[in-house]
């Protein structure tokens, strides 16, 4: 890796120059509440943002390999089904139809041998398709979201059969209590019922029928904190009961959830020194251990604040994210956002991979794009009518 080291002297200068008062001010700048006076109307109109930086577009485009898959970073051949689904959504937004179809063509080419036989596409593999690993329901739901957006944008039935297979598989995962099975780990063990994955699948599967109704019933009975008015990620583990992406994504998917869901994410706010730039930034952690700033999740929060017409808050978040920008080490005029600003743990106590904070990551860069261009990837196909009786978040029980 051709990394630019931060010398001890320069790091020490940066540390000394940022007093405790400065840190507090930075974090309090985002520590807002639902009852705070909203910024002037001219500051929160959420008009289409400026053109997305060409260097970011270039970096994303150069991740696409001959197979059609995009590598998640630029220093490994690792690919993620989730990252490629996000990339397809990006290409659709940028009207890069050919790039979109390269992704879908890859998955369509293996649908009969992988999706049909295993019940879902593998979550991880190398960019040449080798070493597939782990079937995770949530990433398959994201691919269906991307396929639905393609069909809507181009009025095309080209991938209709693939979308129907994914739709059928997701429906087949539903248990008697309404929950969805999470999939299968590499060691053959079953992935438990994951809140974030279930709400993503709720959105991905078109329409509103018993499948959707039963998911909501499960969430109401098993994942709803009535006192706080938000969904729980891991009820069996109080230390990690709440997860950032469950709050941001639930608000993006269920538009009539209280806006307070986003302000309750204040519990994840923390300050860290970005590994490469040495800049002191504020952002959101995966969970309440607050040992890292998760930049993908922080960008998701920016998208969610845009969606409730609070671009004043989004702008503050984006200013912090932009301090972590990393120039590509292998391409000219190409840059991206790392997965995390600093090294630490992901959701729970598991450590991040060893370059999560020092190389651009596809997921963070793409969610940064969504925020920068004021785009909610859940807008297309949003459930416009959920029966009032099923909207448990609007009722007292």
Which pLDDT tens digit goes with each residue over 83-134? 999 999 999 999 999 999 999 999 999 999 999 888 899 999 999 999 999 9
User: What's the predicted TM-score (pTM) here?
Assistant: 0.90
Q: Across residues 23-36, what is the average pLDDT?
A: 59
- How far is the C-alpha of 259 from the C-alpha of 392, rounded, in Å? 16
Interval 232-282: pLDDT, tens:
999 999 899 999 999 999 999 999 999 999 999 999 999 999 999 999 999
pLDDT at 17 over 50: no
Q: String of b and e for 113-130 (b: at least 16 CB within 10 Å)?
A: ebbeeebbbbbbbbbebe
Adjacent-strand bridge partners of 273: 280
pLDDT for residue 395:
81
Interval 365-394: pLDDT, tens:
999 999 999 999 998 777 778 999 999 999
**CA distances for 39 relative to 156, 312, 313, 375, angstroms:** 42, 7, 9, 21
Exposure of 84 in the CB half-sphere (CA atoms within 13 A)? 33
pLDDT for residue 383:
77
**Dihedrals φ, ψ of 225, to 5°?**
-95, 100
**If DSSP codes are grouped into helix, strand and coil, which group holds residue 284?**
strand
pLDDT for residue 381:
74
Instruction: Mention every residue, 6+ apart, whose C-beta is less than 8 A from residue 159.
Output: 104, 108, 147, 150, 151
Instruction: Mention every residue, 6+ apart, whose C-beta is less than 8 A from residue 294.
Output: 244, 283, 284, 285, 286, 339, 340, 346
Task: Walk me through the domains of the chain, giving residue ranges and CATH numbers.
Answer: 1-61+244-397 (no CATH), 76-222 (1.50.10.10)
Number of H helices, E strands in the chain: 15, 11
Q: What is the mean pLDDT of the chain?
A: 89
Query: What whole-number percentage of the chain has pLDDT above 70?
Result: 87
18 versus 58: the higher-pLDDT residue is 58
- Name the least confident of 5-9, 88-92, 224-228: 5-9
What is the pLDDT confidence band of residue 27, given thresholds at 50, 70 and 90?
low
């Amino acid at each position: 890796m051709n990394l630019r080291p931060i010398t001890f002297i320069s790091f020490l200068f940066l540390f000394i120059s940022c007093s405790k008062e400065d840190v507090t001010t930075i974090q309090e700048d985002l520590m807002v509440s639902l009852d705070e006076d909203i910024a002037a109307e001219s500051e929160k109109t959420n008009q289409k943002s400026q053109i997305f930086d060409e260097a970011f577009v270039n970096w994303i485009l150069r991740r696409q390999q001959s197979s059609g898959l995009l590598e998640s970073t630029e220093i490994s051949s690792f690919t993620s089904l989730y990252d490629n689904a996000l990339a397809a959504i990006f290409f659709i937004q940028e009207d890069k139809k050919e790039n979109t179809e390269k992704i879908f063509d890859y998955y369509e080419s293996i649908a009969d041998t992988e999706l049909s036989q295993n019940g879902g596409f593998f979550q991880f593999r190398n960019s040449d398709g080798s070493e597939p690993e782990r079937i995770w329901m949530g990433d398959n739901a994201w691919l269906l979201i991307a396929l639905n957006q393609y069909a809507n944008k181009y009025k095309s039935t080209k991938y209709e059969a693939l979308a129907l297979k994914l739709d059928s598989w997701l429906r087949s995962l539903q248990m008697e209590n309404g929950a969805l099975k999470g999939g299968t780990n590499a060691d053959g063990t079953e992935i438990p019922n994951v809140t974030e994955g279930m709400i993503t699948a709720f959105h991905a599967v078109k329409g509103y029928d018993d499948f959707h109704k039963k998911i909501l019933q499960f969430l109401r009975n098993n994942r709803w904190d009535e006192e706080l008015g938000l969904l729980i990620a891991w009820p069996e583990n109080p230390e990690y009961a709440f997860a950032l992406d469950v709050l941001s994504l639930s608000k993006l998917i269920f538009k009539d959830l209280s806006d307070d869901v986003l302000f309750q994410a204040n519990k994840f706010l923390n300050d860290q020194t970005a590994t490469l730039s040495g800049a002191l930034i504020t952002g959101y952690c995966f969970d309440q251990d607050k040992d890292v700033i998760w930049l993908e999740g922080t960008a998701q929060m920016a998208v969610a604040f845009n969606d409730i017409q609070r671009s004043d808050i989004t702008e503050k978040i984006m200013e912090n994210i932009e301090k972590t920008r990393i120039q590509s080490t292998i391409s000219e005029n190409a840059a991206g956002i790392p997965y995390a600003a600093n090294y630490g743990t992901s959701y729970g106590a598991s450590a991040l991979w060893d370059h999560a904070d020092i190389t651009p990551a596809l997921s963070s860069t793409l969610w940064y794009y969504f925020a920068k261009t004021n785009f909610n990837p859940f807008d297309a196909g949003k459930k416009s009518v959920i029966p009032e009786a099923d909207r448990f978040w609007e009722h007292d029980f």
